[in-house]
Amino acid sequence: MELNSLSAELILSDPLFSLGYLSLDWHPEPGAYLEFGGQTYVVLERRHRYLLKSGRYQLHKIALYVQRFDAPADVSVLNGRWVIGDITCLYNARSELLRCAINPSGSCDRCVHHQPL
């Protein structure tokens, strides 16, 4: 069975609740973001479910355990990835976890090290 014909069940991890099903045309790894029902979720875990047919196990569906993602106010999308902080600054870490190489936890609008690209 090809991946693009598989259904994936989205399961909210806390509280444990099935959000529904969708068809996959890509391999969502843990840490990937996906949109479903107008909400963004981050994949925490991926489990494969198999079905025994004619004495052989075949991949039947994929279960994705997800968590709701509430983006910070200063988030941008850069090359298909979430980036927090001011992406016009030279010192921005271009990361979804770290704002800045010099001031990782601070706010970009009050930073004395701000250098435009």
| Model confidence at 3: pLDDT above 60 | no
What integer is the mean pLDDT of 78-86? 80
Domain borders along the chain are 3-68, 71-117
Contacts of residue 58, defined as CB under 8 A and 6 or more positions apart, other chains included, come to 1, 50, 51
pLDDT digits (tens, 9 = 90+) for 52-75: 999 999 988 899 999 988 766 778
Would you mind telling me the total number of residues written for the chain in this entry? 117
pLDDT of residue 107: 75
